[in-house]
């Protein structure tokens, strides 16, 4: 189906949800531009790189259950963007290690988790380093302004907010009541992440571990994923509750506490190069699970993981379903 004339859409946020929405709308004939505050696309599904190393420091892998998502996953696998990942997984619980017997299928993008975002951004116009800080609705048109460039010299028929709930509240000074109530019911926790780089593989018995009851919740060897090269790098995530309680802590203190916990768990990072990252809004979602929000009278849409279960698959589906809803009304 083609729209009779090209409606212009601005998508704020080039995470998986925004890119899924934008690419579907463009495919169906809309004129789409994406605005992203970071240096690259993919949002929380991202990979940090340094001199001779790379590490996935946001989403670690994703699962797939929905038929529409599975259908697209098949194409990404055939295109070499995504592969399945078969780590030896440990589970630390009640002070004891177990090897996980889970047969869950896990997928990763290659050569880093940000590769899927880069792939989805492929044919789209994505304006990077553009933090949208103002939305102005004049008659039936939307205008934007960014922190870096001031007023954007275009108008749009639709605006899509593909950003976490607290950032929606910060950006839109006055929200329609239906959006306000959904945002108000979402608490998002932060996540402190430490990346440790070693000269050689440390003696740790698992590729990845879920940790319960400690301040760390996840440890993962990046090189256990397909197509990873460079220095031996390990990603450590603090638990959501500890991260949120300590979100304003100094990075040096975070490192000290997390690395001590890692050492007690058997991963000794003394001598490793360390980087730290704070995700201010890492996880959390609406219990109402609306999938997406579309308010036709304001030509306004919202999508993101927080509206649909809080993970990569939910984020992609949220963007796709919002796009299909908009397409259906044109």
Rule CB under 6 A: choose which of 10, 23, 26, 37 binds ligand FAD.
37
The Cα 2–Cα 59 span in angstroms is 35
Question: Would you state the torsion angle of the CA atoms of residues 149, 150, 155, 159, taken in this order, to the nearest 10 degrees?
Answer: 90
Sign of CA dihedral 163, 169, 172, 174: positive
Which positions from 198 to 237 touch ligand FAD by CB under 6 A, shown as an x/- string? ---------------------------------------x
CB of 157 or CB of 193, closer to ligand FAD: 193
CB 224 → ligand FAD: shortest distance, Å? 14
Query: Beta strands 300-302 and 158-161: pairing type?
Result: parallel
| CB 182, CB 293: distance < 8 Å | yes
Rule CB under 6 A: choose which of 9, 10, 16, 116 binds ligand FAD.
16
Segment contacting ligand FAD (CB under 6 A): 148-156, 195-203, 291-299, 307-315? 307-315
Degrees, nearest 5: CA angle 86-90-94: 155
Rule CB under 6 A: choose which of 18, 87, 112, 284 binds ligand FAD.
18
Rule CB under 6 A: choose which of 59, 108, 121, 259 binds ligand FAD.
59
CB 175 → ligand FAD: shortest distance, Å? 14
Backbone dihedral angles phi then psi of residue 159, each to the nearest 5 degrees: -125, 135
Which positions from 146 to 165 touch ligand FAD by CB under 6 A, shown as an x/- string? ----------------xxx-
Rule CB under 6 A: choose which of 60, 244, 255, 286 binds ligand FAD.
60
By CB under 6 A, how many residues form the interface with ligand FAD? 38
CB 305 → ligand FAD: shortest distance, Å? 3
Rule CB under 6 A: choose which of 73, 126, 132, 196 binds ligand FAD.
132
Does residue number 191 form part of the binding site for ligand FAD (CB under 6 A)?
yes
The Cα 72–Cα 275 span in angstroms is 34
The Cα 199–Cα 210 span in angstroms is 24
Does residue number 284 form part of the binding site for ligand FAD (CB under 6 A)?
no
CB contact set of 324 (below 8 Å; sequence gap of 6+): 24
Q: How many helices (H) and strands (E) does the chain have?
A: 8, 20
CB 1 → ligand FAD: shortest distance, Å? 25
Rule CB under 6 A: choose which of 9, 10, 11, 14 binds ligand FAD.
14
Query: Beta strands 125-127 and 31-35: pairing type?
Result: parallel
Residue that has been written with the tokens 């194409």 in this structure? 75
Task: Work out the number of other CB atoms within 10 angstroms of the CB of residue 47.
Answer: 22
CB 192 → ligand FAD: shortest distance, Å? 9
**Token pair belonging to 217:** 């919740």
Positions that interact with ligand FAD (CB under 6 A): 12-18, 35-38, 43-45, 58-62, 131-132, 162-164, 167, 171, 191, 193, 237, 279, 282-283, 304-305, 310-312, 315
């Amino acid at each position: 189906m083609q729209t009779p004339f090209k409606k212009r859409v601005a998508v704020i946020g080039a995470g998986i949800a925004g890119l899924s929405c934008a690419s579907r709308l463009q495919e169906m004939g809309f004129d789409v531009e994406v605005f992203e505050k970071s240096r690259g696309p993919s949002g929380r599904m991202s990979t940090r790189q340094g001199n001779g190393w790379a590490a996935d420091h946001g989403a670690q892998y994703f699962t797939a259950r929905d038929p529409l998502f599975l259908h697209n996953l098949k194409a990404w696998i055939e295109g070499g963007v995504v592969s399945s990942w078969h780590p030896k997984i440990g589970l630390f619980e009640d002070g004891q290690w177990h090897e996980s017997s889970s047969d869950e299928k896990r997928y990763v993008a290659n050569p880093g988790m940000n590769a899927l975002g880069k792939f989805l951004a492929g044919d789209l116009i994505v304006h990077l380093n553009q933090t949208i800080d103002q939305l102005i609705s004049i008659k039936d048109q939307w205008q934007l302004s960014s922190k870096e460039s001031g007023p954007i010299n275009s108008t749009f028929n639709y605006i899509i907010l593909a950003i976490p709930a607290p950032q929606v509240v910060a950006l839109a000074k006055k929200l329609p009541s239906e959006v306000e109530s959904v945002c108000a019911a979402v608490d998002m926790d932060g996540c402190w992440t430490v990346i440790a780089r070693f000269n050689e593989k440390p003696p740790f018995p698992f590729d990845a571990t879920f940790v319960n009851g400690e301040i760390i919740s996840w440890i993962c060897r990046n090189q256990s994923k397909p197509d990873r090269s460079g220095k031996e790098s390990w990603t450590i995530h603090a638990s959501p509750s500890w991260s949120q309680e300590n979100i304003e802590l100094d990075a040096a203190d975070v490192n000290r506490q997390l690395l001590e916990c890692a050492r007690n768990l058997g991963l000794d990072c003394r001598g490793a190069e360390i980087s730290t990252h704070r995700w201010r809004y890492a996880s959390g979602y609406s219990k109402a699970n609306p999938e997406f929000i579309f308010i036709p009278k304001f030509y306004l849409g919202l999508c993101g993981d927080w509206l649909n279960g809080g993970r990569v698959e939910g984020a992609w589906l949220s963007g796709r379903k919002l796009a299909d809803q908009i397409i259906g009304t044109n």
